[in-house]
A and B are shown apart, each in its own frame.
Chain A
Amino acid sequence: MANQETELKVIVFQLKDEEYAIPVQQVRSIEKVQHITRVPRTPKFVKGVINLRGVVTPIIDLRERFGIEALPFNEQTRIIIVALGEMEVGLIVDAANDVLDLPIKSIEPPPEVIEAVEADYINGVAKVGKRLLILLNLEKVLEKETIALV
């Protein structure tokens, strides 16, 4: 059991060349890609809904959410089911890499300029050895206004 005071357990995943991290408490499960039912008249990054053990769960493609060019799904592609309050959403990522205990001390505020992803979506960055992990701000990523805009 990780010391919650000093360490943060995170799920690490790959998106293009960057590694991102989400606190493990926000992650419900990690799924392989399955049939996604398209939902019409929703933003492009909303890929549709899946049947997650009897629960209809919406899926968004993080690449498209962040404006990174789309990539066809492959063997590594995963859907990370995250929960935010009452909301459960699946995030399509290139690959799920790791589960790590991040020392809280290693987390720094987001740098001014971050490649590809807007600083808004980032809670901070953490350096673990040679790896740079970007901590995702799920509240921002799943903000509902962005759906309403389309």
Chain B
Amino acid sequence: MSQYLEIFIDESKEHLQTINEQLLELEKSPDDLSIVNEIFRSAHTLKGMSATMGFEDLANLTHQMENVLDGIRNHKITVTPELLDVVFRAVDDLEAMVNSIASGGDGKRDVREVVQQLKQIEQGDVPTRKTEPPSTTPTLTQTYGEFEYNVLQHSKEQGFHTYEIHVKLRADCLLKAARVFMVFDALNQVGEVIKANPPVELLEEEKFDQEFVVTVVSKQSAEQLYAQVSKVSEVEEVTVTAIDVDKLRPSELTPPQLEVSQTEAAVTAAKEEQKEEKAEGQKEEKEQHKAVANKTIRVNIERLDILMNLFEELVIDRGRLEQISRELNHPELHETVERMSRISSDLQNIILNMRMVPVETVFNRFPRMVRQLARDLGKKINLEIIGAETELDRTVIDEIGDPLVHLLRNAIDHGIETPEVRRAKGKPEEGTVKLKAYHSGNHVFIEIEDDGAGINREKVLQKAINKGIISKQNAANLTDKQVYELIFASGFSTADKISDISGRGVGLDVVKSTIESLGGSVTIDSHEGVGSIFSIQLPLTLSIISVMLVEIQYEKYAIPLSSIIETAIIKKEDILHAHHQKVIDFRGKVVPLLFLKDVFEVPVVKEEEDFFSVVIVRKGEKMAGLVVDSFIGQQEVVLKSLGNYLTSVFAISGATILGDGQVALIIDCNALIK
């Protein structure tokens, strides 16, 4: 059973993702029937699978959705954003159910409301935006599993009555969980709570609206229970209904109403399976549901870290072996070491790649979010995602989601104008938000670009002065970039209208600090009236990097290849002077020279030669030539920190251990170029 369940969950998730993506496509081109067909196929497969596995709610809802899709396919129903809203809600429910199954739950969920809406659509009653979901009538009713049914039967035999109690809390109730607890407490004094809907866990986490239903067995009368519950304050409405246990049927045993004959057989099969399962484990319902693992193996990231550390040790020894084999010049040893090096570099790639995840996993959820936001705000927004396949280290991926959500919300809420404003400005009504990820050197860049209003320098300055973030005197001297940086200061919000979309200015400073804690940075560029770009730079957090080893006198240093443009050997007389600074003419550009032996105060033992070895490095668009004594060569090294004692050493970003066991320092080119 469980092996099918795993496949079921994996495939369901895939299908739901497809449905999500295709629905967004459908919204863009509502007349494209091939898209509808695509969604229909996924929905149909999902329905078949869930019916086979015995997840009725899932099958039911999918079935209803399928009917609507069928209507669209046969030109009976036209696609409107409102209609899609309902379908999206249905997909949300489906997702929640699949997730519940994946985490060991029973995949049950109250979907009547959505089903009802879907049915209305099917009957040609397309909802308009204003129709509120029919939440006034209590729609919550209990369904009972076999286990609960047995308990109820038992209680009845012992003279207990069974009641279903609807409790509605007041809309302004602040601590809903506390009230729930008090209701439960009150009920437990006179009877026993058998079941709650939503489940108790959700009630405790306040994951419910104003109402919930509990099933209680008690020897007391309905009136007494009513009085008991009504005592709890902030309870608006209580309805106690007596239940005849004999008329109840465990919900699992009621045949689902599926018309499609093909799945009918499957359902019976599934029921059989379930019965078997029940027979094995009658004891506890919970025991039947073990958390289901994914098809892929999940490995704790700590284990990967340990693997990485061990591999680092191996890399150091590999370097040492290579050196010994060169010194000994023994052909067989040489060959073996070479083979080992090749294998270990393959191994290295695999280990590094294991930790890499495409940013797609984070970007995936954005189209839906943007769509929802745009609709809530009455804006038209087109989200373009570029470079979703760009890979980043797992730990970075885990952390980057929230800051990105925040920046996107910011772009949509504060950046993109409303369609009217845009039209007035002569822009297309639909605003564009570009989310772009790409590799560059040892970094990954993620950019969020909008063609909205841009940042108003004066407005930001005024606000910053008002909030006491900067003084008036300083304000005038700031560059545009520095002004934009101000919006990352804490307690800053420029929106005239505070909305709950991008919060109350508590966010952007958190975004900045989160990104910085990942070793990255965030910059803003903006043109008023044209749009803004938020650019996030993130390290790949590779602990093994490629470096160029150089020698300065008798000391060895490593320069990361990612900063190196090229190396050159220049004659002494080619050095020019400009403002007391030695420079060279490098391919038509004037590049300043930095003599590392001076920068690093290297004890001078050797005499100066007529030729200089220069490593041309860059930081952004700026370049510099680092003068060294000789190049040793390119090598893969393990990045190590200098420890907690020597923090912030100038222009040194870390150290590495060379093949001969000695430590070489890694030069931080960014610190050298100003």
Whole-angstrom CA separation of A129 from B651 in the bound complex: 51
| Cross-chain contact of A40 among B652, B663, B664 (Cβ < 8 A) | B652
Q: How large is the interface on A (under 10, 10 to 19, 20 to 34, 35 or more residues)?
A: 20 to 34
Least distance between A35 CB and chain B CB atoms (Å): 5
Contact B643 A56 (CB under 8 A): yes
CB interface residues, A 76-130, toward B, < 8 Å: 85-89
Q: Which of A6-14, A21-29, A44-52 contacts B (4 or more CB under 8 A)?
A: A44-52
Contact A50 B601 (CB under 8 A): no
Among B600, B651, B657, B664, residue most surrounded by chain A Cβ atoms (within 10 Å)? B657
Look across to chain B and name the residue whose beta carbon is closest to the beta carbon of A39.
B649
Least distance between A11 CB and chain B CB atoms (Å): 19
Contact B645 A56 (CB under 8 A): no
Total CB contacts across the A-B interface at under 8 A: 76
Chain B residues, CB < 8 A from A88: 643-645
Contact B655 A40 (CB under 8 A): no
Q: Fill in one digit per residue for B594-626: 1 if any A CB lies within 8 Å of its CB, else 0.
A: 000001111000000000000000000000000
Chain B residues, CB < 8 A from A144: 645, 647
Whole-angstrom CA separation of A85 from B643 in the bound complex: 12
Least distance between A19 CB and chain B CB atoms (Å): 25
Look across to chain B and name the residue whose beta carbon is closest to the beta carbon of A48.
B663
Chain A residues, CB < 8 A from B312: 54
CB interface residues, B 643-670, toward A, < 8 Å: 643-647, 649-652, 655, 657, 661-665
Contact A41 B601 (CB under 8 A): yes
- Asked if B316 CB lies within 8 Å of chain A CBs, one says yes
Contact B664 A37 (CB under 8 A): yes
| Cross-chain contact of A37 among B316, B555, B644, B647 (Cβ < 8 A) | B555
Instruction: Count B-side interface residues using an 8 Å CB cutoff.
Output: 27
| Cross-chain contact of A39 among B313, B640, B652 (Cβ < 8 A) | B652
Look across to chain B and name the residue whose beta carbon is closest to the beta carbon of A57.
B643
Least distance between B133 CB and chain A CB atoms (Å): 55
Chain B residues, CB < 8 A from A42: 646, 649
Chain B residues, CB < 8 A from A56: 640-643, 655, 657, 663
Contact A39 B665 (CB under 8 A): yes
CB interface residues, A 124-144, toward B, < 8 Å: 142, 144
Least distance between B553 CB and chain A CB atoms (Å): 10
- Asked if A70 CB lies within 8 Å of chain B CBs, one says no
- Asked if A68 CB lies within 8 Å of chain B CBs, one says no
- Asked if A32 CB lies within 8 Å of chain B CBs, one says no
Least distance between B505 CB and chain A CB atoms (Å): 34
Chain B residues, CB < 8 A from A55: 640, 643
Whole-angstrom CA separation of A35 from B657 in the bound complex: 12
Least distance between A8 CB and chain B CB atoms (Å): 25
| Cross-chain contact of B655 among A37, A142, A147 (Cβ < 8 A) | A37
Contact B646 A58 (CB under 8 A): yes
Contact A142 B649 (CB under 8 A): no
Q: Fill in one digit per residue for B627-644: 1 if any A CB lies within 8 Å of its CB, else 0.
A: 000000000000011111
- Asked if A38 CB lies within 8 Å of chain B CBs, one says yes
| Cross-chain contact of B601 among A35, A40, A89 (Cβ < 8 A) | A40
Contact B642 A39 (CB under 8 A): yes
Whole-angstrom CA separation of A51 from B656 in the bound complex: 9
Least distance between A132 CB and chain B CB atoms (Å): 29
Among A35, A56, A88, A142, residue most surrounded by chain B Cβ atoms (within 10 Å)? A56
Contact A38 B649 (CB under 8 A): no
Contact B663 A50 (CB under 8 A): yes
Least distance between B656 CB and chain A CB atoms (Å): 8
Least distance between B595 CB and chain A CB atoms (Å): 13
Contact B662 A86 (CB under 8 A): no
Least distance between B318 CB and chain A CB atoms (Å): 13
Least distance between A41 CB and chain B CB atoms (Å): 5
Chain A residues, CB < 8 A from B555: 37-38
Contact A51 B645 (CB under 8 A): no
Asked whether A49 and B601 contact (CB < 8 A) given A35-B662, A37-B663, A54-B313, the answer is no
Contact A49 B600 (CB under 8 A): no
Contact B662 A37 (CB under 8 A): yes
Contact B643 A40 (CB under 8 A): no
Whole-angstrom CA separation of A35 from B316 in the bound complex: 17
Least distance between A31 CB and chain B CB atoms (Å): 13
Chain A residues, CB < 8 A from B649: 39-42
Look across to chain B and name the residue whose beta carbon is closest to the beta carbon of A41.
B650
Asked whether A49 and B647 contact (CB < 8 A) given A35-B662, A41-B601, A56-B642, the answer is no
Look across to chain B and name the residue whose beta carbon is closest to the beta carbon of A50.
B663
Asked whether A51 and B650 contact (CB < 8 A) given A40-B602, A58-B643, the answer is no
Least distance between B268 CB and chain A CB atoms (Å): 63
Contact A41 B600 (CB under 8 A): yes
Among A39, A49, A142, residue most surrounded by chain B Cβ atoms (within 10 Å)? A49
Contact A58 B645 (CB under 8 A): yes
Chain B residues, CB < 8 A from A54: 312-313, 316, 657
Chain A residues, CB < 8 A from B600: 40-41
Q: Fill in one digit per residue for B561-605: 1 if any A CB lies within 8 Å of its CB, else 0.
A: 000000000000000000000000000000000000001111000
Least distance between A51 CB and chain B CB atoms (Å): 5
Chain B residues, CB < 8 A from A142: 645
Complex A-B, nearest 4 residue pairs according to Cβ-Cβ distance, in ascending order = A40-B600, A37-B663, A87-B644, A56-B655
9 residue pairs A–B, Cβ–Cβ below 8 Å: A42-B649, A49-B663, A51-B663, A55-B640, A58-B642, A58-B646, A89-B643, A142-B645, A144-B647
